Amino acid sequence: MFFSPFISKPDSVAQIMLKVILALIPGIALYVWYFGPAILVSITLASITALATEAAMLKLRNRPIGPFLKDNSALLTAWLLALSIPPLAPWWLVVVGTAFAIAIAKQLYGGLGNNPFNPAMVGYAVLIISFPVHMTHWLAPQGLVLAELSFAQQLQYIFSGVLPPSLTLDAISMATPLDTLKTHLHLEESVQQILNMPIYGHLGGQGSEMVALGFLIGGLYLLASRIISWHIPVAYLGSLFIIAAIFHLVDPTHYVAPLFHLFSGAAILGAFFILTDPVSSPTTNKGRLIFAAGAAFLTYMIRVFGGFPDGVAFATLLMNISVPLIVLYTQPKVFGKKGKQS
């Protein structure tokens, strides 16, 4: 039996968060395919820490624990943060980052809906500032390094920091494609020379470009199911493309092609999953365009002229703090009123 009105009920927060988490799965599957299953360990570790921290903070704040834990928002933060940390990072790195993200960046501001900053990106920023060495040892895609670790050896390294004898961390890990590009540009090599190195693929880094494609598929699913609007992803990726294209056209030996920027680092993940966080992004459509374009500009500047391997996290945080201002100046005109009433 069906009754009118036939209007679909809007999804609950828990459903929306679950769909966003599910949309991450194609990217994660490709991650496991190209880089091995270590990422699943950090995702599990981050999830457990996030739920435990959330529960502890809710108890301290005298809030009901059950309903808030079941809204899946802590889980999403944990997954996004785990994806930003090198899979071989020691276990305590994941725990410290996730606990900081949930306890300080989210619960201290008042929990879900009140945090001005994206919690996962705060966690990432804390980790990259505090532990830069651990945060830059990324796994190399399979087939590119001298030695590969078995899953048991990876587990052993994550939890006890012990590598099999005869192996050093440098033999199994490498800098990200973005980082390598920056280092070699400093050595006065041209972009064309650098891109011939084995770690680069067709669009970005070998392996990581496919992971980015996986996140793109998940992002398109989010768009299709109307969980996110097109404004932020399109404005972000479009602006990043245009800025990168301008630099590339002026000096192609020093500035890499725009598609490389879109498919390296966290650009795709950021465009669809991080910048679109409903809590810390603007609520007006015009505001979303400005927000995303600003984030793209900052991402490019930090990547190309800054000292950090990727700029998505800092760009997100810097634009997060501008959100109240952006929203204030992009209020839509009230229907029926003439001219500028703001």
Q: Write down the least CB distance from residue 129 to another protein, Å.
A: 6
Q: Write down the least CB distance from residue 159 to another protein, Å.
A: 15
* N residues, the chain: 342
Q: Write down the least CB distance from residue 201 to another protein, Å.
A: 34
> What's the DSSP call for residue 102?
I
- Taking alpha carbons only, the member of 203, 204, 216, 214 closest to residue 29 is 214
56 binds another protein (CB under 8 A): no
C-beta atoms surrounding 247 within 10 Å = 17
- Is 227 or 319 the residue whose CB approaches another protein more closely? 227
End-to-end CA distance of the chain: give it in Å, rounded: 49
Handedness of CA 241, 247, 249, 255 (dihedral sign): negative
Residues 88-127 that bind another protein (CB under 8 A): 96, 104, 110-114, 126
- Is 113 or 198 the residue whose CB approaches another protein more closely? 113
- Is 64 or 165 the residue whose CB approaches another protein more closely? 64
13 binds another protein (CB under 8 A): yes
Among 63, 168, 285, 331, binds another protein (CB under 8 A): 63
Q: Write down the least CB distance from residue 28 to another protein, Å.
A: 25
Q: For 84-193, where are the E strands, in sequence order? A: 138-139, 173-174
Among 29, 44, 59, 61, binds another protein (CB under 8 A): 61
- Is 130 or 342 the residue whose CB approaches another protein more closely? 130
Contact criterion met (CB below 8 Å) for 194 and 253: no
State how far the Cα of 118 lies from the Cα of 97, in Å rounded to an integer: 13
State how far the Cα of 228 lies from the Cα of 219, in Å rounded to an integer: 9
- Is 28 or 317 the residue whose CB approaches another protein more closely? 317
Q: Write down the least CB distance from residue 109 to another protein, Å.
A: 10
Among 8, 62, 196, 341, binds another protein (CB under 8 A): 62
189 binds another protein (CB under 8 A): no
- Is 64 or 336 the residue whose CB approaches another protein more closely? 64
Beta-strand pair 138-139/173-174: antiparallel
- Is 114 or 342 the residue whose CB approaches another protein more closely? 114
Contact criterion met (CB below 8 Å) for 102 and 68: no
- SS3 for 3-25 is CCCCCCCCCCHHHHHHHHHHHCH
- Is 204 or 282 the residue whose CB approaches another protein more closely? 282
Structure tokens at 285: 């459509």
C-beta atoms surrounding 294 within 10 Å = 18
Q: Write down the least CB distance from residue 222 to another protein, Å.
A: 13
User: Which residues, in sequence order, are bridge partners of residue 139?
Assistant: 173
Number of residues that bind another protein (CB under 8 A): 24
130 binds another protein (CB under 8 A): yes
Residues 223-242 that bind another protein (CB under 8 A): none
Query: Please, which contacts does 157-166 make with residues 24 or more away whose CB atoms are closer than 8 Å?
Result: 157/88, 158/38, 158/41, 158/42, 158/88, 158/89, 158/90, 158/91, 159/90, 159/91, 161/90
11 binds another protein (CB under 8 A): yes
Residues 273-332 that bind another protein (CB under 8 A): 278-279, 283
Q: Write down the least CB distance from residue 321 to another protein, Å.
A: 13
Contacts to another protein by CB under 8 A: 10-13, 16, 61-63, 71, 73, 96, 104, 110-114, 126, 129-131, 278-279, 283
